[in-house]
A and B are shown apart, each in its own frame.
Chain A
Amino acid sequence: MEQLILAAGECDPSADIICRPENVVDLFQFSEPLFTIGPLGFTRTVILIFLVMFVVLALLFFGLRRKSVIPSKFGVAIESLVVFVRDEIAVGIIGPEGAKYFPWLLSIFLFILIGNAFEVLPLVNFPVTSRMAIPLGLSLLTWVIFVFVGFKKNGFSYFTGLAWPKSVPLALRPLVGLIEVVSTFILRPITLAVRLFANLVAGHLMLTLLLVSGYVFMSSVTSIGARALIGIPWFVFGLGIYMFEVVVIILQAYIFTLLSAVYVQTSVHPEH
């Protein structure tokens, strides 16, 4: 257990009670790959991504494999989840032609949901989406899709409709146009990725700090005596944050998918 605290650099356990890295950013440095296949290195994150993929495929395969008219209880759960994404998010937001985007929305919803859920799973405790590459990749996919759909449906007037809005008084048009263009093409993918990343990193960091520090305080009863009891409120607070994280996980997956659908909807039906 002491090895977990020696995050970076040398540490002498007999000199300090706790060793800590120079800066918290050191906890997020580049980690060595566990094994390499040719030029591709497989770190812990990559192995977990593949695990997430297998879990999602297993959920959908075993849940939707209907053998009779009355599905099993697990089938009902998976089916209601899939129908929820289709009716509330794909068709509800985008409109009748939203069913085209439904496979993509279901894929990112389930991937983010299971990837986040690894944070509260007892043996794994590492959210896959807390490495910036994954939210960034997913939000770049959203960006490519909504820009492509915007240009395909509206031609070049998609861009001119944003940059030179007709429904704004003439004096304000350059300013509002600039704000609209920057907000649509630059800020939307960045904030979509950073929202998911920051929520997950914050949760993972708080869980790690609270639970590990509570455990370390309580387990060092032999060296610091009765003062080890200060570990107990930290640990209990950590358990409270654990329950809060379960809500955050589901909410963040839902919000990412909802916002992707809303961006596609504003490309398909530009209001201005």
Chain B
Amino acid sequence: MEEIKGAIALVGYGLAAIGPGIGIGLVVAAAISAMARQPEAAGMVRTTMFLGIAFTEALALIGFVLFFIA
């Protein structure tokens, strides 16, 4: 039973990592095109990009930690 629980936990983490992966890709893509359109705003865009990455990565990391708890 332990192996099945461990295997399902691994599958759960894999599913949980799909969303934040796509999300971070979208955030950074928007940041890159914003920096290309207006290089003077690159500093502010970079700060906001880090903020967006932190928010979306938190969900993937919660999944990673729960994999070890279960």
Contacts and interface: CB of A to CB of B under 8 A. Distances in A.
State yes or no: do A and B come from one complex.
yes
A154 interface: no
B58 A195 contact: yes
Mostly, the A contact residues are: helix
A255 B61 contact: no
Interface residues of A, number: 20
Interface stretch (B21-29, B34-42, B49-57): B49-57
A148 B55 CA distance: 23
Contacts of A201: 65, 68
Contacts of B53: 255
Given A25-B69, A88-B47, A259 B64 contact: no
25 contacts: A24-B68, A25-B68, A25-B69, A92-B47, A93-B47, A191-B62, A194-B58, A194-B65, A195-B57, A197-B65, A198-B61, A199-B61, A201-B65, A202-B61, A205-B68, A251-B50, A254-B50, A255-B50, A255-B51, A255-B53, A255-B54, A258-B47, A259-B51, A259-B54, A262-B51
Contact of A198 (B51, B55, B64): B64
A194 B55 CA distance: 11
Chain A to chain B: the 10 pairs with minimum beta-carbon distance, closest first: A198-B61, A255-B54, A195-B58, A198-B65, A191-B58, A24-B68, A202-B64, A194-B62, A198-B64, A195-B61
Interface of B: 47, 50-51, 53-55, 57-58, 61-62, 64-65, 68-69
| B interface: dominant SS | helix
Interface of A: 24-25, 88, 92-93, 191, 194-195, 197-199, 201-202, 205, 251, 254-255, 258-259, 262
Contacts of B68: 24-25, 201, 205
Contacts of B64: 198, 202
A197 B62 CA distance: 10
Contacts of B69: 25
Contact of A258 (B51, B57, B62): B51
B62 to A, nearest CB: 6
A89 to B, nearest CB: 9
- Most central of A24, A198, A258 by chain B CB within 10 Å: A198
Contacts of A88: 47
Given A202-B64, A262-B51, 10 more contacts: A24-B68, A25-B68, A191-B62, A195-B61, A197-B65, A198-B62, A198-B65, A199-B61, A255-B50, A258-B54
